[in-house]
Amino acid sequence: MSSFITSIKENNSIIIIETNGYLNNTGGEAISEIVYEKIDQGHTKFLINMGNTKIVNSIGVSILIEIIEKLQSVDGKLGYYNLAPIVSKTFTIMGLTKYSTLFESEELAVNEI
């Protein structure tokens, strides 16, 4: 597992991925590798805990757009929680909030995704 991914767990059939550090191209690819593997296993709902990812770049976030596109083909969903304000703002500017959801907490995310 990449050092960018610190944990992968399952809660109520939802896969929760926790990240740590800079979401750049390698960070994005680490997330997509896990998501695509889990999609192949039949999972369709994914959450990313980004509490320890305070900085991103548009290449890493573009990989999340690829994941969203892939999830659309399996009627899946992607959400995020514990976002730093600049990460949330970046997601909003890039339009990710139209196709995936930002949550305040894991509890809300698991209940509402």
Partner 1 sequence: MKKPVVELKLPIIPNMELIATQTAEVISRHMNLTDDQNSEISMAIIEACINAFEHSKVENNVFIHFIIEEASLVIKVIDQGIGFDKTNVEIPKIENKIGTNERKRGWGLQLIQELMDSVEFESNEEGTTVTMKKNINK
Report the interface residues with partner 1, using CB under 8 A.
22, 24, 54-59, 61-63, 65-66, 68-69, 72, 84-86, 89-90, 93-96, 98-99
Q: Is residue 14 classed as helix, strand or coil in its secondary structure?
A: strand
Exposed/middle/buried for residue 59 (C-beta within 10 Å: 0-12, 13-18, 19+): middle
Cβ closest to partner 1, residue 9 vs residue 89: 89
The least CB distance from residue 15 to partner 1, in Å, is 21
The least CB distance from residue 84 to partner 1, in Å, is 7
- How far is 64 from 80, CA to CA, in rounded Å? 11
